[in-house]
Amino acid sequence: MMASAAQRTPFASDAEAIAWCARLRRSSLFRRRSAFAELARVFQSAPAPESINGTTDIGMVAAPLGLPVDALVRCFFNTGFWLHKKFDADERRGINGFARWFRVLAPAAFPGGKFRLAADRLWGVRFANERTESLVFPGKEVFTIDYRSPETTLPMRAAVDEAVQISPNVSLCLGLAAARGRAVALLWFTLARSEIRADRAA
């Protein structure tokens, strides 16, 4: 799924990365400053993947905009509506995967998202990928999941996610809102193969 960069990842195994993500997800509720400092430190120490290919699962870690917002985002993700990001490494593009039941709400939540139903998943809201410099950590190379296109559905048009590889099959991502030369951090999350499920680790 993930083509490794030459630099060593912070965690040698996916199990270590999973345990770390689970610990940070809990500690970010009670020791927020130290938790976010640790997330930033690991993010900056990890390499950008050369590419990502295939379907990944999304797992929330924490939202840095204050505890009430964090709690709201956790409730939001706990509904299980936003499940996957599917990447095409050759095309350097991808698409988001949602729960089938979200098809009723999708047109209102993401107008113009060009959704299609396939089996038990709803797919829509496309993005582009490239390796570039981080918007929040100058000099740091990251793998971007970029929605900043006139063709993107309006609520996502300022969104860009930055990803680094923290173990062989787990990436740590920082979701940003970027406009007019500024970037605001909105969400820390993971991408992993479906059998990994970094956000569900005990």
CATH number assigned to the domain comprising residue 146: 2.40.128
Pairing of strands 54-62, 51-52: unpaired
In a domain, 179, yes or no: yes
Section 37-53 average pLDDT: 97
In a domain, 104, yes or no: yes
In a domain, 18, yes or no: yes
In a domain, 3, yes or no: no
pLDDT at 198 (0 to 100)? 45
Domain that holds residue 72: 14-199
For 119: left if phi > 0, alpha if psi spans -120 to 50, otherwise beta; the answer is: left
Residues 135-175 pLDDT 10s: 999 999 999 999 988 777 777 888 999 999 999 999 999 99
**Number of domains comprising the chain:** 1
- In the 3-class helix/strand/coil scheme, how is 152-190 assigned residue by residue? CCHHHCCEEEEEEEEECCEEEEEEEEEECCEEEEEEEEE
Q: Which one has a higher pLDDT value, 79 or 146?
A: 146
Q: Which residues of 95-106 are buried (b: 16+ CB within 10 A; e: fewer)?
A: bbbbeeebeeeb
**Is 45 a residue whose pLDDT tops 80?**
yes
Which amino acid does the sequence have at 26? R
Contact yes or no for 176/156 (Cβ under 8 A):
no
In a domain, 160, yes or no: yes
In a domain, 7, yes or no: no
pLDDT at 4 (0 to 100)? 55
In a domain, 57, yes or no: yes
Angstrom distance (rounded) from CA 42 to CA 130: 21
Mean pLDDT of the chain: 89
The pTM (predicted TM-score) of the whole model is 0.90
In a domain, 54, yes or no: yes
DSSP 31: S
pLDDT class of 179 with cuts at 50, 70, 90: confident
Residues 107-123 pLDDT 10s: 888 887 789 999 899 99
Residues 53-68 pLDDT 10s: 999 999 999 999 888 8
